[in-house]
Amino acid sequence: MNAHTCSSAAQIVEEARQFAAREIRPLAGKIDANGELPRSLIAKLGERGYLAASWPEEYGGLGLDPVAYGLLTEQIGKACSNTRALLTVQTSLLGETMLRFGTEAQKRFWLPQMARAEKLGAFALSEPHVGSDAKSVQTTYRKEGARYILNGSKKWISFAAIADFFVVIAADSAGQITSFLVEREREGVRTIPMGGMLGNRGVHIAEIHFDEVEVPADNVLGNVGGGFTYVVSTALDHGRYSIAWAGAAIAAEALEAMVTYARSRSQFGEKLHHFQLVKGMIGDAVTKVHAARSLCLSAGEMRRDGAEDAIHQTTIAKYFTSKAAVEVTNDTVQIHGGNGCRSGYPAERLFREAKVLEIIEGTSQIQQQVIAQYGLRKYVVKKQGAVQAGREA
C-alpha cells in the first residue's frame, strides 16, 4: 500500500506535477552534470508508487490506465528526462512486460520490490554489433540439464550500472531467442559504466558482460523461443509509449523556456518576441507541442480501449514527438542565442535529451519503415468506386 491508494487518477497526476516541481526540476541540471540519479530521489519515487504507476495494486502499483500513466510520465519528463527514464525502464519496459509474461512466482517476487524501488532492473537487448537489427543478437544461451548458460555482451543498457537484475535477450545455436531474468550477483556477470553520453547522462548506462553465467530454468521470462516475438515486441511497445510522452514533455518544457526568454530578453530596444522571425519559431513550437500531446493522448486512449491499431498509433506518436522535441529544442537554443549554448539555461540540456529520443526504443528510420508498412496496408484503396465516393464526399 502506498500514499496514493485512495486517490483518483487526476489527483495522482496533479500530485506528480507538484512533486516534480518541488523535488525533481531543481535537481535536473545537477543530475545531468553529475551523471547520476540520487538514490534519495529514486527512493522517493518508489515511496510514491511512481515506478509502478500503471501496474495493478496487487503488485504495488497505482492502477493508472494508459492515459493517466502517460500524463504522469509527462509531468516527470517535463521536469527531468533522466528521472523520467527510470519510469520508462522500470514501469514500462520491464514491469508491464513482466506482468504479461512473468510467472506468478516471478511477479510476486520482483514487482512489489521494484515498485518500492528496493530492486531496480535493466532491459538488455542492444549489443556492440547489434542495434536496429535486434533479432540478430549474438549473446548466446545453451541448456545444460535444468540450467541455461549465458555468454556474450550487451551495450548501452540504461541503469545497468546500478540494477539488481537484467532482462537479457539471448539466442541459442539454432537462432531461437529467449529472455532470461539474470540477477547481478550471479557469477560471471560484470558491468562497465559508459560515460561521455550526449543525453541521458543520469541513467547509469553500462555494458554488461556474461561469462558462462548459469541461470535456472525458473528464470526464463515467457516461453523458450518466444523472446523476440513476445517479450521484446511487448517491451518495446510499452517503452515507445513512454518515450512518446517523453518527447511531448521535453517539447513542452522547451516551449515554456523559449517563450519566457523571448518575453524577457531585449535587443534593438524591443523584446525578442516582437520580431516576426522569433514569432514564427514560437508559432511552430506551439503547434508541434499541441500536435505531439494530441497524438500521445490518442495513443493512450486507444491502448486503454484495446483498439486494434493502438500499437501503430503508439509508434506514430513516438516517431512524431521525438522529432518535434528535436525541432522545438533546436529553436529554443536559437532563441536563447549564446545563452542557449551554455548550461546556465536548460535549453542546451533539453536539446541533448531530445536528440536521444530519436535513437532509443527503435530509431526514427526504423519507426518510419514500420509506419510505412502500416500505411501501405491500411490506406490502399481496393475498389475504384470507393475512391470516387470518398473524393466526392
How many beta carbons lie within 10 A of that of residue 391, not counting itself? 7
- Alpha carbon 313 to its chain's center: 16
Residue 339 beta carbon to ligand FAD: minimum distance, rounded to whole angstroms:
26
**Do residues 51 and 87 make contact, with C-beta atoms less than 8 angstroms apart?**
yes
Residue 366 beta carbon to ligand FAD: minimum distance, rounded to whole angstroms:
6
Could you confirm whether 361 is annotated as catalytic? yes
Q: Which of 74, 127, 353, 361 is catalytic?
A: 361
Residue 327 beta carbon to ligand FAD: minimum distance, rounded to whole angstroms:
17
CA distances to 13, 54, 196, 204 from 111, in Å: 22, 12, 32, 21
Q: Which residue is nearest to ligand FAD (CB)?
A: 131
Q: Confirm or reject binding of residue 132 to ligand FAD (CB under 6 A).
A: yes
Q: Confirm or reject binding of residue 137 to ligand FAD (CB under 6 A).
A: no
The alpha carbon torsion through 134, 125, 235, 135 (nearest 10 deg) reads: 20
DSSP track, 136-173? G---EEEEETTEEEEEEEEEEETTTTT-SEEEEEEE-T
Q: Confirm or reject binding of residue 365 to ligand FAD (CB under 6 A).
A: yes
Q: Confirm or reject binding of residue 356 to ligand FAD (CB under 6 A).
A: yes
Residue 231 beta carbon to ligand FAD: minimum distance, rounded to whole angstroms:
12
DSSP H/E element including 242: helix 233-264
Q: Confirm or reject binding of residue 371 to ligand FAD (CB under 6 A).
A: no
**Do residues 176 and 225 make contact, with C-beta atoms less than 8 angstroms apart?**
yes
Contacts (Cβ under 8 Å, ≥6 apart) of 153: 127, 128, 139, 207, 208, 209, 210
CA distances to 2, 71, 267, 282, 296 from 293, in Å: 29, 10, 33, 16, 5
The alpha carbon torsion through 103, 105, 106, 109 (nearest 10 deg) reads: 160
Q: Confirm or reject binding of residue 359 to ligand FAD (CB under 6 A).
A: yes
The length of the chain in residues reads 393
Task: Please select the residue that binds ligand FAD; options are 200, 313, 314, 321, rule is CB under 6 A.
Answer: 200
Residues 111 to 130 in contact with ligand FAD, rule: CB under 6 A: 123-126
Residue 197 beta carbon to ligand FAD: minimum distance, rounded to whole angstroms:
6
Residue closer to ligand FAD (CB basis): 262 or 357: 357
**Which cell numbers hold the place of 131?**
542495434
Q: Confirm or reject binding of residue 163 to ligand FAD (CB under 6 A).
A: no
Residue 384 beta carbon to ligand FAD: minimum distance, rounded to whole angstroms:
34
Residue closer to ligand FAD (CB basis): 62 or 97: 97
**Segment interacting with ligand FAD (CB under 6 A) among 102-110, 285-293, 341-349, 352-360:** 352-360
Active site positions, annotated: 361
Residues in touch with ligand FAD (CB under 6 A)? 123-126, 131-132, 156-158, 197, 200, 205, 356, 359-360, 363, 365-366
